[in-house]
Amino acid sequence: MARLSPWQELPAGGAILPAEAEQPRTGGWRTGFRPEVDLSRCVDCLLCWLYCPDSAVRLDGTAFEGFDYDFCKGCEICAEVCPVDAIEMVVE
């Protein structure tokens, strides 16, 4: 549980600044399936990165690096859009 701030410490008007914003690990809401990748098939087309609604695909420059399970909800969009079937949903 985050500490609740006193009024004197809040940004004026409740402005939320990137450095201050708490980033809850919403991957805890995942559906029970998580994506796994077969890197030998991946062609770095980055369609999964483009389509992921939670920015849970990590890149190394322009190369696919992996999934960020702290934020992945298991929606399966990445597996659906992958043109080389490199992504498989597995039961957690």
Partner 1 sequence: MTPLLLTGGEAVAHAMRQIDPDVVPVYPITPQTPIIQGFAKFVADGRAHAELVNVESEHSAMSAAIGSALAGARTMTATSSQGLALMAEVVYIAASMRAPIVMALGNRALSGPINIHCDHSDSMLIRDSGVVQLFAENAQEAYDLTVLAPRVAEHPDVLLPVLVCLDGFTITHSAEPVQLLADGDVAAFVGTYTLAHRVLDVAHPATQGPFAMPDYYYEFRRQQSAAVEAAGRVLDGLADGFERLSGRRYGPVEAYRLDGAERVIVALGSTAGTVKDVVDELREEGEAVGVLKIVSYRPFPSELVRGLLADIASVIVLDRADSPGGAAPLQAELAATLYGSAAELHGHVYGLGGRDLHPRDVREIFAQHAPRYVSVRGEPCPV
Nearest to partner 1 of 2, 91 (CB atom): 2
- Binding letters toward partner 1, positions 3-32, x by CB under 8 A: -xxxxx-xxxxxxxxx--x-----------
- CB closer to partner 1, 13 vs 61: 13
Buried b (16+ CB within 10 A) or exposed e, 31-45: eebbbebeeeebeee
Comparison of 21 and 90: residue with beta carbon closer to partner 1 = 21
The answer to whether 38 and 82 have CB atoms below 8 angstroms apart is: no
